[in-house]
Amino acid sequence: MRIAIIAIAFLLSALASGCSEGGPQSLTAFADLYDAKGQKIGTAQLKEAKNGVEIRLSASHLPPGKHGYHIHETGKCEAPDFKSAGGHFNPEQKKHGEHNPEGHHAGDLTNLTVSEDGQVNDTQIAEHVTLEKNKAVSLLKAGGTALVIHEKEDDLKTDPAGNSGKRIACGVIEAKQ
């Protein structure tokens, strides 16, 4: 009986250590989002999850309505147009949009819905990316990546950006220290 208890304790300890410090699910990152005037309007917290990367966004001072929301390929957010962030994060060279029959970019996210007071709180899982460095789909790759909010709703099918219009907010994704 004593051996069984020790064995169970050892097994539980081993399982716990896989999800604690150093395990893939302990990886975290953040992005401070800025508007075209350089004003900080929000923050995103990113965390490695079992099925991708969980992104929790909290922002304000945005136009009400639906907005395209994507992970972009370069970790630069130069206002006012944020074109420095490059195109959508797309290491597998697919087409844009969840409804595109040819697949979708790893950086395609679901539209954001901003309330009448300009606030948005959103949580979603980006299933085709990771925070693990040295992986082809890592958001913490050399050169970085960025989160971008667009002026209009993403139609989720038109290449390259779902007809979502200008980029109105951007934040560089950075590893938490």
C-alpha to C-alpha distances, 33 to 44, 61, 83, 153, nearest whole angstrom: 8, 11, 15, 19
Distance separating alpha carbons of residues 175 and 173, to the nearest angstrom = 7
Query: Dihedral angle at the C-alpha atoms of 47, 48, 53, 55, nearest 10 degrees?
Result: -10
For the annotated catalytic residues, the residue numbers are: 70, 72, 88, 96, 105, 108, 150, 167
Phi/psi of residue 157, nearest 5 degrees: -150, -25
Closest by CA position to 31, among listed 91, 1, 76: 76
Closest by CA position to 48, among listed 25, 16, 29, 19: 25
Phi/psi of residue 9, nearest 5 degrees: -60, -40
